[in-house]
Structure 1
């Protein structure tokens, strides 16, 4: 009798922010994001120089929790989600813990895109979704084994989720996704007129 099992799992954490800690007001969070984007001239200049259609504070601001209290509240909730994910991953952290390393906001208008990338020098990365209008771009995750598959045939269209080369996830506003930072991902072009707003972050082993 055959024995076939899955090895080397890639875990993806998906939950509502409200599952840990007090609920975050996404309307207030959205207003804060747009206010920051409007005032952040350095971030606007970076986006223009680098051809980023939309806005990100990634290269300009590193103190969002000190600018608006709601970001401080958000970090307190994210800490609990990351701790839960680290437990699921069965990390041996010793007497240390995973701590926030960076936090930035993203506003993708119609035509905006975030090309395929990973998050070097981090352990867990993630995004929480502030606005996700109907039809806004899902996030796409890539099987990390693809470069080593060489002559492997493609998968059938109805392949089981864990065997597909790409997985699309369309969260709702107020959701959080977490993954190990080596997992390659991207956001395809936003094809709707409304802005897709999210807050992304990295956690390191302190």
Structure 2
């Protein structure tokens, strides 16, 4: 009998964020988006659909206490994920590097990307109406497969080239920052709202 086993696992952490009022968080996201003229200008200049505070605001936890509560919850999830990943942090911590709002209207997308210079990245979900796009994760070996044939549609999850994760409001997803991911087109008539973040080794 052959000995076949999986190597070099790509881990995905999926859990409820915690005791966070998603209605208050959603209202705060809209309030910030309405007032953030620099962010609106950046989105328009870069043809970004909807709104993101990624390029304009660096102090969300200071502006709204609900965001500090989100960060406090995220710190615990990131610590648990780092333990699962068997990271040797050498007495240092993984600390929040940045956190930002994403509001994607109907037809909005986030194209495929990674988060360079970070260790753990993730998203917590604020509003996911029916028809809102899932998170699409790409096999990090894709560029090395060269002449490999495609995988069967019913391949085991760990063998697929792409994985789609459909979170619920109040969920948090974490992954290592080198993992390529995207948000396909939002097919809902309502906004898809999330808060994304990066943690660095400090």
Give TM class, smaller chain: over 0.9
Per the TM alignment, residue 111 of structure 1 is displaced from its structure 2 partner at its CA by 0.9
Deviations 1:79-100 (A, max 9, x none): 0000000000000001101000
Q: Which residue of 2 aligns with 1:178?
A: 174
Alignment of structure 1 residues 117-136 onto 2, 5 Å: 117-136=113-132
Work out the CA distance in 2 between the residues paired with 1:97 and 1:146: 31
1:82 aligns with 2:92: no
Q: Which residue of 1 aligns with 2:147?
A: 151
TM-score, normalised to structure 2's length? 0.99
Q: Which residue of 2 aligns with 1:17?
A: 17
Alignment of structure 1 residues 39-50 onto 2, 5 Å: 39-50=35-46
Work out the CA distance in 2 between the residues paired with 1:108 and 1:8: 33
Per the TM alignment, residue 192 of structure 1 is displaced from its structure 2 partner at its CA by 1.1
Count of residue correspondences: 202
Q: Secondary structure at the match of 1:79?
A: helix
1:192 aligns with 2:188: yes
Deviations 1:173-200 (A, max 9, x none): 0000000000000000101110000000
Q: Which residue of 1 aligns with 2:199?
A: 203
Q: Alignment RMSD, CA only? A: 0.4
Q: Which residue of 1 aligns with 2:7?
A: 7
Alignment of structure 1 residues 53-92 onto 2, 5 Å: 53-92=49-88
Q: Which residue of 2 aligns with 1:38?
A: 34
Consecutive unaligned residues of structure 2, counting only runs of 5 or more, are none
Work out the CA distance in 2 between the residues paired with 1:43 and 1:165: 34
Q: Secondary structure at the match of 2:39?
A: helix
Q: Which residue of 2 aligns with 1:109?
A: 105
Per the TM alignment, residue 166 of structure 1 is displaced from its structure 2 partner at its CA by 0.3
Work out the CA distance in 2 between the residues paired with 1:172 and 1:44: 27
TM-score, normalised to structure 1's length? 0.97
Per the TM alignment, residue 134 of structure 1 is displaced from its structure 2 partner at its CA by 1.3
Q: Secondary structure at the match of 2:99?
A: strand
Per the TM alignment, residue 135 of structure 1 is displaced from its structure 2 partner at its CA by 1.4
